[in-house]
């Protein structure tokens, strides 16, 4: 199922570039995709994840990322992003159940998931796009959020038109191909947020892209 821009209307446009054509990011938002029980099972499972805070290079300087994360995937689905190389750890039970559910519901095929944990509103993710070479051309990225509500921003790379989408616990946001080529996204700091949030982004990689 591909529903391009299905839930477009409610999004708040922050920057409108005058008389240029209004662009729409190719996304589908499904609020409340996971019920309370599914959310609780995942949140409980996250407690056992080997989350880490890797250091990345930004303009020649090394900084720990402002959140913790872990990458799970099928064997051979290792991932290189932000100058890091991460081998796929085997799928935990409920993360894998969610992957299977995405396939059942949307025929969305994925073989890896990046889990990001934002401890509170001081944690964040800067502007980026998920356009790494090992991501399969034509594939969609499915993002599931659990925990604190956080604002998700989408910005067009050329016109800089920007959308703000509040993501609540249990929401699913599908970023359809070729969104990553044309748009960036971010999760800015929100200092009033005191609760943690966990986000799962399911991706489809070319297996064995990185030879062992
Ligand atoms: O936490 C989010 O909603 C976004 C995560 C993200 O963009 C990513 O993992 O690449
Ligand atoms: Fe991303």
Q: Where are the domains of the chain?
A: 12-16+23-51+64-203
132 CB less than 6 Å from ligand 1?
no
Distances (CA, A) of 53 to 20, 66, 119: 41, 8, 12
Which atom in ligand 1 lies closest to the alpha carbon of residue 185? 7
Q: Which amino acid residue places its CA nearest to atom 6 of ligand 1?
A: 201
Pairwise CA distance, residues 41 & 144, whole Å: 14
Cis status, amide bond into 106, omega within 30 of 0: no
- Does the Cβ of 143 fall within 6 Å of ligand 1? yes
Quick: pLDDT tens for 102-137: 999 999 999 999 999 999 999 999 999 999 999 999
Residue 80 known to bind ligand = yes
**Cβ of residue 182 lying under 6 Å from some atom of ligand 1:** no
- Annotated binding residue at 185? yes
Answer whether 0.90 is exceeded by the pTM: yes
Closest by CA position to 4, among listed 176, 139, 152: 176
* The pLDDT value given to residue 2: 43
pLDDT digits (tens, 9 = 90+) for 34-60: 999 999 999 999 999 999 999 988 888
ipTM: 0.99
The residues facing 112 across adjacent strands are 73, 203
Residue nearest to atom 10 of ligand 1 (CA): 130
Answer whether 65 contacts ligand 1 (Cβ < 6 A). Answer: no
**Cβ(68) – ligand 1 distance below 6 Å:** no
Is CATH 1.20.140.10 what the domain over 12-16+23-51+64-203 is classified as, yes or no?
Answer: no
């Amino acid at each position: 199922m591909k529903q391009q821009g299905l839930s477009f209307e409610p999004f708040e446009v922050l920057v409108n570039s005058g008389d240029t054509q209004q662009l729409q990011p190719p996304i589908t938002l499904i609020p409340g995709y996971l019920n309370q029980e599914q959310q609780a099972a995942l949140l409980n499972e996250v407690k056992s994840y080997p989350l880490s805070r890797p250091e990345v290079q930004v303009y020649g300087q090394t900084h720990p990322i402002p959140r913790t994360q872990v990458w799970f995937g099928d064997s051979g689905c290792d991932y290189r992003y932000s100058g890091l190389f991460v081998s796929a750890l085997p799928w935990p039970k409920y993360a894998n159940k969610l992957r299977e559910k995405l396939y059942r519901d949307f025929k969305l095929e994925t073989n890896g998931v990046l889990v990001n944990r934002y401890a509170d509103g001081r944690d964040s993710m800067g502007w980026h796009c998920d356009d790494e070479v090992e991501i399969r051309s034509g594939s969609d990225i499915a993002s599931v959020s659990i925990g604190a509500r956080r604002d998700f921003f989408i910005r067009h790379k050329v016109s800089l038109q920007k959308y703000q989408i509040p993501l609540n616990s249990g929401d699913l946001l599908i970023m359809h191909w070729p969104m990553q080529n044309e748009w960036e996204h971010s999760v800015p700091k929100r200092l009033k947020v005191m609760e943690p949030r966990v986000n799962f982004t399911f991706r489809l990689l070319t297996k064995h892209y990185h030879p062992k």
